[in-house]
Structures are given as structure tokens and as C-alpha cells.
Structure 1
């Protein structure tokens, strides 16, 4: 495990495997360790140098209480800092949920650094909310942590124990700060379309984000969308049996471009 980061931020990451670099960035509830039991490392390390990153507030990275630390531009900058430390001028990128959102914003700002982007349960469209609602949700997170979100997922179906543990590991104060820091995201669809970098979107057909994901796919000329039948939001990360047959040839074609 190594740490780097701009502005004194410490971002933890590790590498495994060999080949063209592929960044793996987890979602809001998780850390870099989830890619191991999920099967992604075992499936891809033989063909790629995997760069597994703990986003700010997660895993072994810093977990500040300041919402400004979680702004999307700063999180995109964290990925760049890791790539620079790795000596990787360009890399492929696979982000799950929040990780995919960070990937879209990184692509919009620095298209020269990505060979391709895979986004699971994420889109490039804007996101906003009433500040009062955001503050109420942040207060709820400070009081209850991630437990209510885990319970909501489990009401819809079984959750692997390792995923449950990862979701519960985020500190309540960090979760609250992240909620505020990411509540308003600009729409970067046009910039992603102009980048002409290949994009693969993965989404369950029961994901509440699917309409926005479809609109992203329609607006980006070099984008394709794989809809997973009978699946929800988390399945775009968990159901490697459905995604890997499409992801693997996509990476073989574009990861070294």
C-alpha cells in the first residue's frame, strides 16, 4: 500500500498484476479491497496492472470532516495524483457508482489521461438537490452511519458479507461530509462526448439511475450500454458473470489505445 495526494491529502492505493494500467475505483460504500472478493482482481490481473484506489474518506485514505474535501474535482485530482505517482501517462478506468461518476468528471477534465472508461451504475449528467434536504441527509448519516443504507439494500435481496462489512466501515462523519461535498454535480455529458474516448456503461435494468444512464449513452458517440436483466444498482458491480464477457473484450480493444 502506498499513499500520495495533492494539497497534503493522503490517498492510499496498491497495484497488482502486469500489463496496461487499469484504475479500479469503488463506490460510496466500500474501499479498494472490494475488488478482490468481487472477483475483478482475479479476472483481470493477468492482463492489466491494476491500480486499486481508496477514495478520500474510505479505506486507508484520509477521512476529513470538511465537505469541501469531497468535491468531485478534488477527487478526480486524487486519481491523477496516483497515476502520476505510478508513472502512468494514460490508463483505462473502471469505476463503480461514485467511482464511475468520478471517472466521468476525470474524463471531462483530462481526456488525455484515459484510454477508455467503464462506469457501473453511473452517468455523466448533472445532479443537484435542495441544500436543506442534503443537510438533513448529512445529519442522518452522522447519527446512523451506513447501517440504514445496508438495511435498505438487504430488504431487496441478499448482500455478500464482505460487501456488507465494507459498506459499514465508512466513518459516519466522513459519510456525512461526502454527502454534502458531492450533492451538486455539474453535467459533463457534452465534455465527455467531445473527448471521443470509448465509454462502456453497465447498469441493472432495475437501477433507478437507468434513465440518466441511457441518456448519457445516447449523447456520447463512443459510448455503449450493457443493461443487466433482473438486476439493481449494486449488481452492475457484483454480477461479474454478466459484465466480464463484455468488459474483457472492451479492455482488450481500448486499454492500450
Structure 2
């Protein structure tokens, strides 16, 4: 099982497929397994070298219990440590929700390491994380029920079991602090950006604002999906992502 160590947290990652390198970073309380279960690996793995990372506090990565361990700078360095270890100078990046937040941090800290940026369900204007704090306060069984309700009951049993298996102290530490707004304009980014969100995602208005601020951005709206459901729509999203990343191969 491949790991890297980032002072001193062990970060688990996996690779599959061949082609241009595409880093996949999952959302809160998820793991690498989510990319498989939702169908992303099946649809994108034929076209890219997928590099999937278990964020600290999740999956098979270490799970510190101190909130300071989850500062965005540490999470960004986790990704950089993985791609440095693999000898990659530049990568495509796809992140959902919390994973998109990490992608924003990469774009700020090391824009020269990104070939493109694809972000779902995230914006750079700060976020109150108290709903997540309340959600995990009573344990993983209650949190799993909330996530299942958010998907309209369409979540596989394997996903629910995996969510229940999370370390509640690690997840509580990961959302102990609100996400501050990024400072400065985004107009300096010089690589293409794709944003996506469900039309029922409460973050959509901020993402529409963000799309207008980016010089090379496109926003894809997933009809009748909320924040959680959008991740489970690779059948609708993957063609747009593939067309964005490889315009000559606009199908999956």
C-alpha cells in the first residue's frame, strides 16, 4: 500500500490507468474508495493516469486529532508530497467539496504545478463549517444517516459502511475551524478551470460568482442535484470533464 510522509503524517494514495496525470481529491468523510463506488474511475481511468489521495483524517491516511493538523497549508503539502514523490512537475487536478478546497489552496500556493483545475461544490469566499461540526458531533452512525438522506437514499451500502468506519475525533478536528476566504483576485490564474455544482446546491450562487472572476472558467450545472448528489453523477459530468481536459476526445 503506497504512502508518503508529510511531517510526520502518513498519506495513502493509489494510481490507476495511463495518460496525462490527473489527481483526484475526495470530499469530507469520503476516501479513495468513493471514486470507484460512484463510477469516476471507470469513466476517467481509460483516459488518464489517476492519482487518488486519501486526505489526512480519511481512508488509510493518518488521522491526527488536533485541529491545527488540518490547516489548509498541510493539506496542500500532502498533495505536493505525493506528486513530488512520483516525479511529476505538473498535473491536472479534480477535487470535490473539501477536495476542491484543497485544490484552491494548490492554485494559490503553486499554480505552476497545475495543468488545469476542476472543482465541484466549492468556492473561495469562506465557509461556515458549523453544520459539519453538528453533523459529526453525535457519531458516525448519525452522520452516515444525514449523508444518506442528502443523496435521496441512493447511496450504496458499501459507502455507508465506509462512512460509519471514520474516526469521529479526526473528522471533528478536520472541521473544527471555519474556512476563511482567500485573499486577492483570481484573475491571475493562467490555466483552464472547470467548475460544477448541482442546481440545488446552496453554494451555486457563490460558484457562479467565482466563475465570472476566473479568466478561463466554465461552470457546469447538474440539474436537480444538491451538494451531495452531484458527486454521484459522473455519467452526466464525466463527458464535460473529458471534453474540457481532452477536447479531441469529448466522450467517455
TM-score of the two chains, using structure 2 as the length reference: 0.90
Distance 1:94-1:140 versus aligned 2 partners, 3 A rule: closer
- Give the C-alpha shift of residue 150 in structure 1: 2.7
Unaligned runs of 5+ in 2: none
Q: RMSD across aligned C-alpha pairs, in angstroms?
A: 2.0
| Count of residues paired in the alignment | 246
- Give the C-alpha shift of residue 52 in structure 1: 0.7
Counterpart contact for 2:44–2:238, Cα < 8 Å: no
- Give the C-alpha shift of residue 251 in structure 1: 1.4
Query: Which structure has more helix as a fraction of its residues?
Result: 1
- 2:182 maps to 1:187: yes
User: 1:58 is matched with which residue?
Assistant: 58
The CA distance in 1 between the partners of 2:160 and 2:24, in whole Å, is 19
User: 2:148 is matched with which residue?
Assistant: 154
Counterpart contact for 2:189–2:215, Cα < 8 Å: no
User: 1:219 is matched with which residue?
Assistant: 213
Summarize the alignment of residues 35-74 of structure 1 with structure 2, pairs less than 5 Å apart: 35-74=35-74
The CA distance in 2 between the partners of 1:184 and 1:87, in whole Å, is 31
The CA distance in 2 between the partners of 1:138 and 1:122, in whole Å, is 18
Counterpart contact for 2:91–2:115, Cα < 8 Å: yes
Aligned to 2:230, which of 233, 236, 241?
Answer: 236
TM-score of the two chains, using structure 1 as the length reference: 0.89
The CA distance in 2 between the partners of 1:128 and 1:232, in whole Å, is 18
The CA distance in 2 between the partners of 1:147 and 1:207, in whole Å, is 24
- Give the C-alpha shift of residue 253 in structure 1: 4.2
- Give the C-alpha shift of residue 12 in structure 1: 0.5
- 2:1 maps to 1:6: no
Aligned partner of residue 195 in structure 1, secondary structure: coil
